[in-house]
Chains A and B, each alone.
Chain A
Amino acid sequence: MVDTTNPSDVAEECRVFCRYLSDRPPPTEVLSAYRRAHQCVVVAADAAWPPIDAALLRIARLGPSLTRAADASAVTFAKSSLLRRKLVLLLAILESCGSTIGAVDTVVPGPRVKWAAGIVLNVVVFAAALGLAAAAVVPLRIWYRFAPGRRA
């Protein structure tokens, strides 16, 4: 779990998630806003979050590819998880800044075939990420549900 009182933890998490969402590192204003949000407790790590959320978050923080896998799992099985909240927050910040809006909200011109191919590719990547995530997360869910002293 990220220590929300530790700025470097939050910054590292922001860098990884930003790479996943926009394919680039976060500019200073995004980093600063992401830190500020953690001080406002909207996404602060909290003992009330289920351990599976913490596990998902740890996986996601390992790198952009694993963020994609964890996100695919979260969007399917845990829509209101802490990871989803953090990604939604970061996306909102990226959409609010002039320096990053283009990376997350851009019209890509081109023929319809290219557009359709892009959709198909996205679906395939999502399915692969979901499969990968399911392989790791489903056993974790079972573990947290049935292991003594754990709660899913």
Chain B
Amino acid sequence: MRRIVLVGSGASAVHFALTALQKGHEVLMLDVGHERPESVLPGATLAQLRDRLADPVAYFLGDSFESVLFPTQGTEYYGFPPSKSYIFTGTPPQFRWRVEGFAPLASFARGGLAEAWTAGVYPFNDAELADFPFTYADIAPYYDLVAERIGISGEVDDLARFMPVHQHLLPPLDLDEHSSLILRTYAERRASLNRRLGCYIGRSRIATISRDREGRQACSYLGRCLWGCPSDSLYTPSITLAECRRHDRFRYVSGVYVRYFRTNAHRRITAVVVDTGPGKASEDVPVDTLALGAGTLSSCKIFLESVFRETGQLVTLHGRWTTSRS
């Protein structure tokens, strides 16, 4: 049995943890882990929220109207409802960045960035994996396993030619009137659309369950996906985190920020250095096996900062990406 220290609680981290636990290992998860607020009126539909909440404007737009997206010249419309703001706020002061040419999103929420996803879930096909050292067939069993764990509803239809079909697809969700009309019309003109326009239409594959399973309710079409599904029908990593926490060999510690790891003379990782709060001294957490699952940016930062502290080396990718001492 290994004692694994795992950093982060996003999608990769929680599934790594669950697999490690199922293989008999012990897992200590270190996370900043801002918590999701309680759902309001869990059984209410989106329309009922407008009627029943004492202040629906504050719920939908925020106390300071921070979720209203105002028109601005030349910038992207991209916003989140107040109920999801915990996912993007509370960035620790130690985590700073300067970017050029892309707009990074990072989260220190319990469950990570995927707490804000909208559940569209599609395997990479061989064309998309062309530059990777493996094919779809090599990783297909893992897609099957993840589909079984998280619950994906969908159908094998004309889109299968673009998106590989994995096992454990749940029956598809009901369609709204517009989508039904589009699919019916497509079915009537399918041959012509395929042949003349190369147009193929099918259902989305969604990590939202269409049947009750393992304490989660089947989607009841409340229409609150964007605001946070109150019945956990729409999968988020915090569901798997809750499953991990039911294991005796799992320990979750939130409120800590992992800065870097230490190595010994044999270049074995011996500890991670964590900050536990403002004004408190950093602490060492001993490590036998370390796994970084803190998202692309945070995991890279931990790794690169550790390399820098050990060797003084500034690692760069194509001469551009780097981390500097924080």
**A and B bind:** yes
A33 is contacted by which of B47, B57, B72 (Cβ under 8 Å)?
A: B57
A37 and B65 alpha carbons, distance in the complex (Å)? 7
Q: 0/1 per residue, B54-74, Cβ < 8 Å to A?
A: 001101110011001111110
Q: Within 8 Å of chain A (Cβ to Cβ): is B157?
A: no
A42 is contacted by which of B56, B65, B71, B72 (Cβ under 8 Å)?
A: B65
Residues of A within 8 A of B61 (CB): 33, 92-93, 96
Taking CB as reference atom, which chain B residue is nearest A93?
A: B57
Taking CB as reference atom, which chain A residue is nearest B178?
A: A107
Q: Are B71 and A85 within 8 A (Cβ)?
A: yes
Which interface class (under 10, 10 to 19, 20 to 34, 35 or more) fits B? 10 to 19
Q: Are B57 and A101 within 8 A (Cβ)?
A: no
Contact A89:B70 (CB < 8 A) given known A40-B65, A98-B47: yes
Q: Within 8 Å of chain A (Cβ to Cβ): is B249?
A: no
The A-contacting residues of B in range 115-160, CB under 8 angstroms, are none
Q: Within 8 Å of chain A (Cβ to Cβ): is B50?
A: yes
Residues of A within 8 A of B68 (CB): 37, 42, 88-89, 92
Q: 0/1 per residue, A61-90, Cβ < 8 Å to B?
A: 000000000000000000110001100110
A80 and B73 alpha carbons, distance in the complex (Å)? 6
Q: 0/1 per residue, A37-63, Cβ < 8 Å to B?
A: 100101000000000000000000000
A57 and B147 alpha carbons, distance in the complex (Å)? 54
Q: Are B71 and A88 within 8 A (Cβ)?
A: yes
Q: 0/1 per residue, B236-251, Cβ < 8 Å to A?
A: 0000000000000000
Q: 0/1 per residue, A108-147, Cβ < 8 Å to B?
A: 0000000000000000000000000000000000000000
Majority DSSP secondary structure for residues of A touching B: helix
Which interface class (under 10, 10 to 19, 20 to 34, 35 or more) fits A? 10 to 19
Residues of B within 8 A of A101 (CB): 47, 50
Residues of A within 8 A of B57 (CB): 29, 33, 36, 93, 96-97
Determine how close the nearest CB of chain B comes to the CB of A17; give it in whole angstroms.
15
Determine how close the nearest CB of chain A comes to the CB of B72; give it in whole angstroms.
5
Q: Within 8 Å of chain A (Cβ to Cβ): is B51?
A: yes
Taking CB as reference atom, which chain B residue is nearest A96?
A: B60
A80 is contacted by which of B47, B56, B71 (Cβ under 8 Å)?
A: B71
Q: Are B64 and A40 within 8 A (Cβ)?
A: yes
Q: Are B50 and A98 within 8 A (Cβ)?
A: yes
Residues of A within 8 A of B69 (CB): 88
Residues of B within 8 A of A29 (CB): 56-57
Q: Are B64 and A84 within 8 A (Cβ)?
A: no
Determine how close the nearest CB of chain B comes to the CB of A90; give it in whole angstroms.
10
Taking CB as reference atom, which chain B residue is nearest A37?
A: B65
Q: Which of B61, B65, B72 has the most CB of A within 10 A?
A: B65
Taking CB as reference atom, which chain B residue is nearest A33?
A: B57
Taking CB as reference atom, which chain A residue is nearest B67?
A: A92
A80 and B70 alpha carbons, distance in the complex (Å)? 7
Q: Are A89 and B56 within 8 A (Cβ)?
A: no
Taking CB as reference atom, which chain A residue is nearest B49?
A: A98
Contact A84:B47 (CB < 8 A) given known A40-B64, A92-B61, A96-B61: no
Residues of B within 8 A of A89 (CB): 65, 68, 70
Residues of A within 8 A of B70 (CB): 42, 80, 84-85, 88-89
A57 and B10 alpha carbons, distance in the complex (Å)? 47
B72 is contacted by which of A37, A80, A92, A97 (Cβ under 8 Å)?
A: A80
Q: Are A84 and B71 within 8 A (Cβ)?
A: yes
Beyond A36-B65, A80-B70, A97-B56, 10 extra complex contacts between A and B, CB < 8 Å: A42-B70, A80-B71, A80-B73, A88-B69, A92-B61, A93-B57, A93-B61, A96-B56, A96-B61, A101-B50
Give residues in B with beta carbon < 8 Å to A.
47, 50-51, 56-57, 59-61, 64-65, 68-73
Give residues in A with beta carbon < 8 Å to B.
29, 33, 36-37, 40, 42, 79-80, 84-85, 88-89, 92-93, 95-98, 101
